[in-house]
Amino acid sequence: MLSLFTAILPVFLVVGFGYVTVRRRLFPDSAVDGLMLFAQSFALPTLLFRAMSQLDLSTLSIDLFLSYYGGATVAFLVAAAGARLIFHRPWEDTIAIGFCGFFANGLLLGVPVTQQAFGPDATVSNFAIISVNSIYCYGIGITLMEIARARKIGARLSELPIKVLRGMFSNNLIIGILAGLAVNLTGLPLPEFLTEALDLMARAALPAALFGLGGVLCNYRPEGDLRTIAWIVLVSLVLHPAITWVIGRSVALPTDGFQSAMVMAAMAPGVNAYIFANIYGVAKRVAASSVLIGTALSLITSWFWLAMLH
């Protein structure tokens, strides 16, 4: 049990280093912005491109997607239902709060935690999940938000498809995923000098992003309706992995896929949850606080779920 905790602790320590250095003003906010711009716009898309271009497409199993995204979809619905029916939030807030329960931090936390806990070769199913994560989550989130806004201002729903596609395919992570899958499907050979350069960028992605995540979290403050925040954290850290566990066991998901799905499901809301709320200008304080508090608590909850897997 202690070995599991110490195995995943380095991931959270890197986040903590980023948090402390920014808090103590040893690393300026402008540098954090630059680091996250590098990580999110260049290094992480490169990592996803390389992972997708080399992905064994047989890992894209229906059972894997059903296990993870079944849990994610239930988490979205429950988080949104609580926001609307219990906390009486307006529809735009409701969708943003639901998105917090929907979009777990699988790339920045799930992948390195899986590497630490099960070894560097254990992340194949993680990247299979990630291959459709942004498209699925943003597709649903943007569509629902645009419908809610269109009804509010009386805009034409005929403009909805263009807005959804524009919002999804302006995302560098989605572009990296789709480009990598295109290379995979076509068998396009890449010269060795190019793959080595891409691998250098990819290796920088997770350390830079984890450190930068800590710096970003330092600027968040636990603000907003604390009951709503607690609801989101409960849905993200408990309900999502619990549903994934039930579905994964019921479909007899293979061990490696089950481990990856569970680790991904057990992660806190990702920074993308705050970005989504910020784009639409709704529930920003609740989303930011959920990311901060959820990330801190996920050190304990992810250790619990990992212990359940052993």
101: left (phi over 0), alpha (psi -120 to 50) or beta: alpha
CA–chain centroid gap for 132, Å, is: 11
Taking every pair of Cα atoms in the chain, the longest distance, rounded to a whole number of angstroms, is 57
Runs of H (alpha helix) within 119-153 = 124-153
Going by C-alpha positions, the residue among 155, 198, 217, 194 that lies closest to residue 21 is: 217
**83 close to 93: Cβ distance less than 8 angstroms:** yes
Instruction: Kindly indicate the confidence band of residue 3, based on its pLDDT and cuts at 50, 70 and 90.
Output: low
Average pLDDT of span 134-156 = 83
Cα 303 off chain centre by: 18
The candidate with the shortest Cα–Cα distance to 280, out of 108, 143, 134, is: 143
| Distance from C-alpha of 103 to C-alpha of 141, rounded to nearest angstrom | 10
Burial class from Cβ neighbours inside 10 Å (0-12, 13-18, 19+) for residue 14 reads buried
Alpha helices, DSSP H only, in the chain? 2-23, 29-38, 44-54, 62-81, 91-102, 111-118, 124-153, 160-169, 172-186, 192-218, 226-234, 240-250, 255-265, 271-280, 284-309
How large a percentage of the chain has pLDDT more than 70? 96
Cα separation values, 215 from 11, 33, 42, 150, Å: 14, 9, 18, 36
59-91 tens-digit pLDDT? 889 999 999 999 999 999 999 999 999 999 999
Domain that holds residue 288: 2-309
Per cent of the chain over pLDDT 90 is 68
Q: Please give the pLDDT value at position 2.
A: 61
Q: What's the CATH number where 176 sits?
A: 1.20.1530.20
Q: How many domains does the chain have?
A: 1
User: What is the phi-psi region of residue 283: left when phi exceeds 0, alpha when psi lies from -120 to 50, beta otherwise?
Assistant: left
Across all residues in the chain, what is the average pLDDT?
91
Mean pLDDT calculated for residue range 111-128 = 92
Nearest one of 65, 79, 120 to 261, comparing CA atoms: 65
Q: 27 φ, ψ to 5°?
A: -140, 110
Of the candidates 288, 294, 251, the one whose C-alpha atom is nearest the C-alpha of residue 75 is: 294
Alpha-carbon dihedral 269, 140, 123, 57, rounded to 10 degrees: 180
Nearest Cα neighbor of 232 from 93, 98, 118, 33 is 98
| Per-residue b or e along 269-283, where b marks 16 or more CB atoms closer than 10 Å to that residue's CB | bbbbbbbbbeebebb
pLDDT tens digit sequence for 156-204: 666 677 777 777 777 888 899 999 999 999 999 999 999 999 999 999 9
**Cα–Cα dist 93/281, whole Å:** 9
